[in-house]
Amino acid sequence: MSETPWLTIIGLGEDGLKGLGPASRTALEAAEIVMAPPRHLALVGDLPCETQSWPVPFADGIDILLGLRGKRVVVLASGDPFWFGAGATLARHLEPEEWCSCPGPSSFSLAANRMGWSLVRTVCLGLHAAPLTRLRPHLAPDVKIIALLRDGDAVGALGAYLSDAGFGASAVSVLEALGGPRERVTHLRADAVATERFEHPLCVAIEVAGGGPALPLASGRPDDWFETDGQITKQPVRAITLSALAPRPFDHLWDIGGGSGSIGIEWLLTHPTLEATSFEPSPDRAARISANAARLGVDRLKVVTGAAPDALVGQKEPQVVFIGGGLTAELLKWLEGNLSKGTRLVANAVTLETEALVVDAHRRLGGTLIRLEVARAEPLGPKRGWKANYPIVQWSVSL
């Protein structure tokens, strides 16, 4: 094992070499090659060693970097390389003893200090390479958000997005080139930012205000948050189903028979480490699932167009499976034969045929079997009466 790693990742601020600590300076002095985006190379000026621009897209530079093993290499990144930066991506391709990191202050830390905000009570988002819809789950009055943006033009798009969502009254502070000689902070309302010009690099601090609808935090969001053709697990049943699915950090869900995607979407809204794949045989419904997921800020939902069990073959293994529609004896047999021991399975049955399947499966495999009956008060002539939905038989089991 080498006593000194061949790669040092240095978090660079907008003040260039002035902001570097002793460890970063020592690594730069010993470097044979410095690899960085052109903007970072410009911040440090002329160096005594060889320099190489990191290509675009970023992934194209990884093989180039790995080919430099055996030399002393420095990679320059922005701020803290392990907070929405290049650090974690590079570390996945390296052994622990091959690299070290010298972080600088992150944009989030600098922005919070300029704003006087507590970071532990502030939502931090990297929207420089992600859609603005990632904001949607967090939009509620008085929420504070710090978000990295791609470039100056994205500020206008942000203002339009917030205004369209009903939060045009939000206070937006645009923070450009934090920590450097070009630093500038501009305070505006969201519905006014499109009239200004801003320069990269930048982030925004948002104090949400306005009368737009806020997405509830609890499972079982109202049905009208989802576009649907009628194929949807309705709100009360969805809330009980999410409870039965019992999401845990880093779990991966298979949602078989996605319909409108409501189960997979609510699963992902529970925690940022969760993953989900939705399987839907109808192309129209599959497209609607993707659109619902993107609009509600969980575009990471993977949607597979195809019927189970064939569509399940070769997919990333789940820890949890939900069957909301299309349960057959063939599918159940495939799941029993192919899922790992301990996989949690929840199936909702509406028809007598699927109810017979889950009742038999409960007899053979155990688990929990419950019957859900929901009725709503609706007009009945001049008065009101109960209108019942179809009862649901829900089977939950660890295989």
Q: Mind listing the pLDDT tens digit for each residue in 136-176?
A: 999 999 999 999 999 999 999 999 999 999 999 999 999 99
**216 to each of 138, 267, 274, 275, how far by Cα in Å?**
10, 13, 18, 20
Can you give the pLDDT at residue 315?
A: 96
Tokens 């839907």 -> residue = 280
Cα separation, 160 vs 181, in Å, equals: 30
Q: Quick: pLDDT tens for 295-319.
A: 999 999 999 999 999 999 999 999 9
pLDDT given for residue 106 in this prediction: 94
Tens of pLDDT along 100-147? 999 999 999 999 999 999 999 999 999 998 999 999 999 999 999 999
The answer, yes or no, to whether residue 194 has pLDDT greater than 90, is: no
Rounded CA-CA distance 301/293 in Å is 7
Q: Are the CB atoms for 140 and 160 separated by under 8 Å?
A: no
- Has residue 4 got a pLDDT over 90? no
Residues 263, 242 contacting (CB under 8 angstroms): yes
- Report the predicted TM-score, pTM, of the whole model to 2 decimal places: 0.91
> Percent of the chain scored above 90 by pLDDT?
92
pLDDT at 2 > cutoff 80? no
Give the list of residues 6+ apart from residue 369 with CB closer than 8 angstroms, or none. 358, 359, 362, 393, 394, 395
Length, in residues, of the chain:
399
State mean pLDDT over 265-293.
Answer: 97
Reported as a pLDDT band with limits 50, 70 and 90, residue 279 is very high
pLDDT of residue 3: 67
Q: What is the pLDDT of residue 193?
A: 76
Domains delineated in the chain? 7-105 (3.40.1010.10), 108-207 (3.30.950.10), 223-398 (3.40.50.150)
User: Using one digit for the tens of pLDDT, what is the confidence trace for 369-392?
Assistant: 999 998 889 998 999 999 888 899
